[in-house]
Chains A and B, each alone.
Chain A
Amino acid sequence: MKRFKGKPLVSAIILGLIILGCVFAEVIMNHDPVYMDLANFDKAPGKEFFFGTDNLGRDIYSMIWYGGRCSLMIGFLATLISTTIAVVYGTLSGISGMLVDDIMMRFTEILLSIPGILLIIFVQAMIGQQNILAISIIIGVTSWMSIAKMVRTEVKLIRTQEYVLVSKQMGAGFFHVLGKHYFPNFISSIMFMIVMNVRSAIVAESTLSFLGLGLPIEVISWGSMLSLSEKALISNAWWVILIPGVFLVITLMCITNIGNYIRERMNKGESNM
């Protein structure tokens, strides 16, 4: 029991269950999520439809599991893309000379100064496609900046650490220092940001789809399900708004808890002595 003290066990279990449910959606679903049962639209939650139906007559219970796949997939894919860009960019900036470093950082600051959602719309307009891969790329290429800044700061910091100086003095080359000293150290300090990036990618997808700029209604995700909520407001179909949202928020909370745990563990590791 002691082993699990302080660890986000509950969050991990819930998140695990949600992920499992989405992966094996076919097993738990009791309706076809894409089938529009026009006879049964806007049905309140009940025996037949556990979570009710939306105004197109689709079963929300089935859609939650089926659509969760999309949302989670985009979350992970976008984070993978942004982390890769961030690590390469941040390391390059951190080891470059003053001038190049300055220009590179100025560029990220300009990008950061454009509100994220607007930047996403720009890139969205450029790519012009609305499928899972395109949305992941859009979110990925617009959300690497703060991780890159962190990587750069870490690289700069590690550069002046005694063990790097000693290693260089012992004749270590650039790649040796990079692999042995830089990577292991900054990876642990950006881990928290990576986890949080998954979170913000999921939020970005749902916001985009809600605004009608992300996935279309036919491609089911938690965001695109919520894009029907304006009609639901008129017909007072609270379940259409609340149920996908609650799933979304619970997922985000689990991820946040895990992220916070990683951050705290990291801080403790530093002040060991």
Chain B
Amino acid sequence: MNKRKKLLILIAKKMLVFFVSIFALSIIAFSMSRIAPGDPLVSYYGDRAERMNTEEREHAIHRLGLDGTLTDQYVAWFKGAIKGDFGESFKYKENVLTVIAGRLVNTLLLGGIGFLLTFFLALLLGILCALHEGDWLDTLLCKVGTITSCIPEFWLSLVLILIFSVTFHLLPSSGAFGLGEADSILSRIRHMILPMVVIVLSHLWYYAYLIRNKLIDEKRKEYVLMSKSMGLTNRQVMWRHCVRNIMPAFISIMAISLNHVLEGTYIVEMVYSYPGIGTLSFESAKYHDYNMLMVLVIIMGVVVILGNIIGQIISENIDHRMKEEAIIEDAEVVASEKI
């Protein structure tokens, strides 16, 4: 009972942190986007905005909810947002959620699969390197890895397009699917290969190296010697003990690196003109499509802050174990009393 209560309190606390963070994020995004110079009317009315007279202008501003002080505007936006009404996109002249819904799947596919693939490969690579620590294989992988981690995403994308699309005509260079092939899975996969390779390659080594170092630290611990003295091979010790023991840290790293991988996805989407929320974010920031931008930033915030909280819970639990250890130390005398 007590344990359940503790859990409920913990969840409530984390929820509070979550909502406060999202709220703060929305304020920051709101004020930042509106302080920025530039005319949002242009994105709604296009060239027409420049030919408007004062009266028309005022009318348009009112229509888009851009009059009043910044606070008033925010309150208005917030009221709508609670009801699930995030407004209309200035550029697409549709409800923002409708526009985003169409694109979110594309990003989730690309970013999600890329994310999982990156970490799966990073784990394998990290284990491989840790097993061969100091060998030629480890040294080679470290060298190659460092090189790949130095290549900017956009340039890698360009080079891949140059090789696979322009020179050999093997793979498409842009879009999420061919013309009129929205339902063809094959077409989608073909379009996804190059962006996916970029996402995985540009993040892989960073995490593989982290995991490698964590495993190497783990290898230095005494229980490894203990297990080896019982006749286990290096490989067995690695899988049975070391990998298991870094799992909490691994998941925690995964959780907090969501935004890192997301950022990569955004850039890749831009280069490959991939219709996801990455390209949409750039467009809306560039064209002052406020309503769109707010929702995009908040979606991002939800994903990333959620990831952070998960990471925190995991590392706090590890901490908890440490704390308990300290208490046991204190109680040592009590335990050894019966001599």
Query: Chain A: residues with CB nearer than 8 A to chain B?
Result: 106-107, 109-118, 121-123, 125-126, 128, 199, 203, 206-207, 210-211, 213, 226, 229, 233, 236, 238, 241-242, 245, 248-249, 252-253, 256-257, 260
Contact = CB atoms under 8 A, between A and B. Distances in A.
B28 A110 contact: yes
Interface string B28-53: 11001101111000000000000000
B234 interface: no
A109 B21 contact: yes
Contacts of B151: 249, 252
B304 A113 contact: yes
B285 A122 contact: yes
Q: Is the interface of B mostly helix, strand, loop or mixed?
A: helix
A59 B256 CA distance: 44
Contacts of A236: 166-167
Contacts of A121: 282, 285-286
B335 to A, nearest CB: 28
B154 A210 contact: yes
A112 B259 contact: yes
Given A109-B308, A128-B36, A226-B155, 14 more contacts: A109-B305, A114-B259, A114-B301, A114-B304, A118-B300, A121-B282, A122-B36, A125-B37, A125-B38, A226-B158, A242-B159, A249-B147, A256-B150, A257-B146
B158 A233 contact: yes
A72 to B, nearest CB: 15
B215 interface: no
Given A257-B146, A260-B146, A115 B262 contact: yes
Given A110-B24, A118-B285, A118-B297, A229 B150 contact: no
Contact of A110 (B21, B155, B162, B286): B21
Contacts of A109: 21, 305, 308
B65 interface: no
24 contacts: A106-B21, A110-B25, A110-B28, A113-B304, A115-B262, A118-B263, A118-B266, A121-B286, A122-B33, A125-B33, A125-B285, A125-B288, A126-B36, A206-B155, A207-B153, A211-B267, A233-B173, A242-B159, A249-B152, A252-B151, A253-B146, A256-B146, A256-B150, A257-B146
A238 B158 CA distance: 10
Contacts of B147: 249, 253
Contacts of B288: 125
A238 B162 contact: yes
What 9 A-B pairs come out closest when comparing CB atoms?
A: A125-B36, A115-B263, A113-B304, A252-B150, A245-B155, A253-B150, A121-B285, A126-B36, A122-B32
Contact of B25 (A113, A207, A248, A252): A113
B147 to A, nearest CB: 6
Interface in B103-147: 146-147
A113 B259 contact: yes
Contacts of A252: 150-152
B161 interface: yes
B103 to A, nearest CB: 15
Contacts, number: 123
A128 B37 CA distance: 7
A114 B25 CA distance: 9
B266 A117 contact: yes
Contacts of A253: 146-147, 150
Given A117-B266, A118-B300, A125-B36, A249 B155 contact: yes
Nearest to A204: B152
A121 B259 CA distance: 16
Nearest to A250: B150
Contacts of B35: 126
A233 B161 CA distance: 8
B207 to A, nearest CB: 15
A207 B263 CA distance: 12
B149 interface: yes
A125 B150 CA distance: 28
Contacts of B270: 211
Contacts of A125: 33, 36-38, 285-286, 288
A233 B162 contact: yes
Nearest to A253: B150
A123 to B, nearest CB: 8
A209 to B, nearest CB: 10
A245 B158 contact: yes
A229 B259 CA distance: 27
A233 B164 CA distance: 12
A82 B265 CA distance: 25
A109 B25 CA distance: 10
B285 to A, nearest CB: 5
A42 to B, nearest CB: 14
A213 B162 CA distance: 23
B89 interface: no
A202 B29 CA distance: 26
B281 interface: yes
